[in-house]
Amino acid sequence: METFKDLDLASPIAKALLAMKFEKPTPIQAAGIPVALAGKDLIGVAQTGTGKTATFCIPILTRLLKNPGKTALILAPTRELAAQIEELWRGLTKYTPDHRAVVLIGGVAMQPQVRALRAHARVLIATPGRLVDHLQRGTVSLNSIEVLVLDEADRMLDMGFAPQLNQIMKYVPKQRQTLLFSATWSKEMDNLASKYLHHPEKVAVGNISRAAPKIAQFAIQTTQQAKNDLLLEELNARQGSVLVFARTQSRTDRVAKFLMSYGMLVNRIHGGRTQAQRTSALAAFKSGGVRVLIATDIAARGIDVADIAHVINFDLPQVAEDYIHRIGRTARAGTSGEALSFVAADERGQWRDIVQLLKKTGSSLPEMKGVTSSQLNPAEMSGGADASDRAAAKAGRPQRPSRGPRSERPNHRQDDRRDSRSEPRAEGPRTPRAPVASSGVKIVLGGGPRL
């Protein structure tokens, strides 16, 4: 299948694809859509950003157009992913707007969802927890479901949704088509597939869990204490949008506070924020109003923002596979991007796991940068107008903005004790940053010590 025309799609779908500027199918679409259109159960192993959403939405709409009384259910692990699926669905139904989708996600009021359900949606896009709520209250019926999608099924299991899936399956008709998508494949996924799918055909795009090849990956050895300053330095040195990953909700908050104390405009999303806060943070990031978004893994999963130029792993993920998911936020749908990871001494084990996974999956390996300036002398780790400013000045980059009032400033007592020790030492002088297409800046420090 070379183009979407080869699929002989119904004309409102073909027209909508043109309007969305989808001309050539992506590999998962080329492999998966014909299988799903033939009515077979499908397992799609594809990482995010590969076009997997349209791989199930196009066959669903084709089927619903032919069967006016039928509906489809798409289960997704997070609210953000559900919202993004709906966005694609809306584009795809531009010329068949009566094929509405209803999004059933937690963290928002039930009542508007109940009202929307009464208006006969053709597709339900739901997170498992909220769908179970509706089922228990009797506000939704799944009797007319003809196609079921389990999107990012690996993540749903990771997030502990197996009991909810079990419950939901009791309400879904046995006679149905089931499409399962997952970025990774494991024994658990095998079990899930054999439980819910019927003679599925499996299509995998590239190696399982392989990092998208167009992402330039870098890593810096540093310390926990030096991370804040390093982040500030790296953000100042970059142009374009940056998604920063922190390990926990409180760390996300702390990093945001630190950057804001230097006058930087940032937003944050994590599971502890309300849905309204998450939605507005994401909207501001998408529109370019806020350049830096700080997120935890779960909140960031499935974020589909075009043109994220950089991903920075402020903290390494606990699970190596999340590294691939995280850096997959950049370089989506074939564009290029850059990913940078901070590796503190207590994260070396995680880093080894990540490198091992990258090797195993045939992905390209990150380039390791040298020991950072602030790592050399622990007395200087808490930052201040120090090495980062001087390095920035040297490289002709913008320096950190002037600080806010003292009361808002982090407690840096070492400011006056800076000296030449804070300059990069182990690696010699810092190589000037070379321009790259996506970001405008790139640090290349030759072969630092391996972790």
Q: How far is CA 48 from CA 39, 228, 366, 368, 449, in A?
A: 24, 29, 20, 25, 32
User: Which residues 203-242 are close enough to bind ligand AMP by CB under 6 A?
Assistant: none
Beta strands in 389-451 (DSSP E): none
Q: d(Cα 56, Cα 179) in Å, to the nearest integer? A: 7
How many chain residues bind ligand AMP (CB under 6 A)? Answer: 16
Of residues 18 and 444, the one with the C-beta less far from ligand AMP: 18
Q: In angstroms, what is the minimal distance from the CB of 61 to ligand AMP?
A: 14
Are residues 340 and 313 in contact, defined by beta-carbon separation less than 8 angstroms?
A: yes
CB of 185 to ligand AMP, least distance (A): 17
Q: Hey, is 266 helix, strand or coil? A: strand
The yes or no reply on residue 331 touching ligand AMP (CB under 6 A) is: no
> Rule CB under 6 A: is residue 49 a binding residue for ligand AMP?
yes
Contacting residue, 13, 53, 230, 294, with ligand AMP by CB under 6 A: 53
By CB under 6 A, tell whether 332 contacts ligand AMP.
yes
Smallest separation (angstroms) from ligand AMP to the CB of 312:
21
Pick between residue 24 and residue 348 the one whose CB is nearest to ligand AMP. Answer: 24
The residues with which 242 forms a beta bridge, in sequence order, are: 292, 310
Neighbours of 275 (CB within 10 A): 15
H-type alpha helices, 182-248: 187-196, 227-236
Query: Is residue 325 part of the contact set for ligand AMP (CB under 6 A)?
Result: no
Q: 276 or 333: whose CB is closer to ligand AMP?
A: 333
- Measured from the Cβ of residue 187, the count of other Cβ atoms closer than 10 Å reads 7
Name residues contacting ligand AMP, limited to 8-27 (CB under 6 A).
22, 24-26
Helical spans, DSSP H, in 262-394 = 275-287, 297-300, 320-327, 348-360, 387-394
Instruction: Answer yes or no: are the C-beta atoms of 425 and 198 closer than 8 Å.
Output: no
Contact stretch for ligand AMP (CB under 6 A) within 50-58, 93-101, 222-230, 279-287: 50-58
As beta bridge partners, residue 28 has none
Residues 83-112 that bind ligand AMP (CB under 6 A): 88
**If binding is defined by CB under 6 A, does position 51 make contact with ligand AMP?**
yes
Stretch near ligand AMP under the rule CB under 6 A, chosen from 46-54, 266-274, 319-327, 401-409:
46-54
> With respect to ligand AMP, which residue has the nearer C-beta, 48 or 223?
48
Q: Per CB under 6 A, does 200 bind ligand AMP?
A: no
Cα–Cα distance for residue pair 10/1, rounded to 1 Å: 16
Minimum Å distance from CB 2 to ligand AMP?
A: 12
Q: How far is the CB of 46 from ligand AMP (least distance, A)?
A: 7
Helical (H) or strand (E) element with 204: strand 201-204
β-bridge partners, 136: none
Residue 434 burial class via C-beta count within 10 angstroms: exposed 0-12, middle 13-18, buried 19 and up: exposed
Report the residue number, 151 or 229, with the smaller CB distance to ligand AMP. Answer: 151
Interface residue with ligand AMP among 33, 45, 50, 418 (CB under 6 A) is 50
Residues 262-291, one symbol each (x = binds ligand AMP by CB under 6 A, - = not), give ------------------------------
Q: How far apart are CA 99 and CA 81, in angstroms?
A: 20
Side chain identity, residue 58: I
Minimum distance between the CB of residue 215 and ligand AMP, rounded to whole angstroms? 14
List the one residue from 304, 315, 321, 347 that touches ligand AMP (CB under 6 A). 304
**Residue of 36, 48, 73, 128 that binds ligand AMP (CB under 6 A):** 48
- What are the DSSP calls for 356-370, one per residue? HHHHHTTPPPPEEEE
With b for 16 or more beta-carbon neighbours within 10 A and e for fewer, the 19-32 pattern comes to eeebeebbebbbbb
Between CA 383 and CA 170 the distance in angstroms is 57
Interface region with ligand AMP, contact rule CB under 6 A, candidates 43-51, 113-121, 132-140, 192-200: 43-51
Q: Is 259 helix (H, G, I), strand (E, B) or coil?
A: helix
| Dihedral angle computed from the Cα positions of residues 116, 118, 121 and 122, in that order, rounded to the nearest 10 degrees | 160
Between vectors from CA 33 to CA 30 and to CA 36, what angle results, nearest 5°? Answer: 150
> Given candidates 16, 36, 43, 54, which one binds ligand AMP under the rule CB under 6 A?
54
Site for ligand AMP in 381-420 (CB under 6 A): none
In the complex, least distance from residue 26 CB atom to ligand AMP, rounded to whole angstroms = 5
Closest distance of CB 49 from ligand AMP, Å:
5
Closer residue to ligand AMP in complex, CB, 153/219: 153
- Residues forming contacts to ligand AMP in the complex (CB under 6 A) are 22, 24-26, 29, 48-54, 88, 304, 332-333
